[in-house]
């Protein structure tokens, strides 16, 4: 995918994510004792690029289904099919369709009872 278009994102030197919230999330990691403003900025921008990347990939799956709206199943497909996102497979599992039982399945289940 292409890089993020900086004209539609935050101005150079700033992030679209609220710094206070990002700092609070970073503080949740007990292994990190301090985080300078430059590090905070880089983490925020890296997060923006990550979100942009996964949304773009998910959008491609929605386009394949001839839709303009990204749905959960599109994100799940992106995560399952792109090796880069394997670490998210437990968080966003693939969708499972629930089928109505057929007559043969009903008779088979009654026979086992």
Q: Report the pLDDT averaged over residues 4-26.
A: 75
Can you give the residue ranges of every domain in the chain?
Answer: 19-95
Distance from C-alpha of 78 to C-alpha of 100, rounded to nearest angstrom: 27
Task: Let me know: does 21 contact 15? Beta carbons within 8 Å.
Answer: no
pLDDT tens-digit profile of 54-79?
A: 999 999 999 999 999 999 999 999 99
Q: Which two tokens stand for residue 31?
A: 């292994």
For the entire predicted model, the pTM comes to 0.68
CATH class of the domain comprising 19-95? mainly alpha
Distance from C-alpha of 55 to C-alpha of 82, rounded to nearest angstrom: 13
Distance from C-alpha of 7 to C-alpha of 79, rounded to nearest angstrom: 28
């Amino acid at each position: 995918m292409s890089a993020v278009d900086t004209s539609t994102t935050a101005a150079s030197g700033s992030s679209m994510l609220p710094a206070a919230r990002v700092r609070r999330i970073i503080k949740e990691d007990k292994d990190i004792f301090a985080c300078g403003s430059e590090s905070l900025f880089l983490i925020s921008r890296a997060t923006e690029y990550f979100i942009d990347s996964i949304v773009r990939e998910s959008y491609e799956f929605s386009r394949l289904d001839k839709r303009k709206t990204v749905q959960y199943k599109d994100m799940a497909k992106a995560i399952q099919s792109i090796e880069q996102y394997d670490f998210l497979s437990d968080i966003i599992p693939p969708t499972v369709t629930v089928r109505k039982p057929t007559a043969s399945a009903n008779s088979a289940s009654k026979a086992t009872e």
